[in-house]
Amino acid sequence: MKKKEHILINYLLLKNKAGIQHQLQKSKGEFDQQMEERRLKDRLNRVQKGKIVLTFPTRLTPFCFPIKVDSMRENLTSEKLADRVKRMHEQLNRPQSSA
């Protein structure tokens, strides 16, 4: 085999290999996206079949505590924010009375 033919064959093989790898990556990306869509659809179906329970807590819950602190940051008062947060935290950790 001549040197030029050998180089051409190697070039074509490498180019084909790169093309195959690109297709594999593209296929993997499409597969991953389809899997994510399936998971999302499954979760949405689960949520749709679930029951929504609306409650009105008498005091702050652990999930809303950071949101409340952020909203208080905007309302300036004579009381220091850190002191108010500390007091709210103590109230949150106190056992709730059954009144």
Are 60 and 68 in contact by the 8 Å Cβ rule? The answer is yes
Task: Report whether pLDDT(29) > 60.
Answer: yes
Alpha-carbon span 38 to 45, nearest angstrom: 11
Residue 59 and residue 47 in one domain? no
Nearest to 60 by CA among 31, 87, 41: 87
Q: Give residue 73's domain range.
A: 55-99
Which phi and psi (to 5°) does residue 85 adopt? -65, -40
The residue type of 43 is R
Q: What is the pLDDT of residues 53-69, one digit of tens each?
A: 888 888 888 888 888 88
Domain count, the chain: 2
Q: What pLDDT is stored for residue 61 in this prediction?
A: 84
List all residues 6 or more positions away from 68 whose beta carbon is below 8 Å from its beta carbon: 60, 88
Residue 45 and residue 64 in one domain? no
Tokens of 53: 């329970």
Residue 67 and residue 40 in one domain? no
Residue 66 and residue 20 in one domain? no
Task: Report whether pLDDT(88) > 70.
Answer: yes
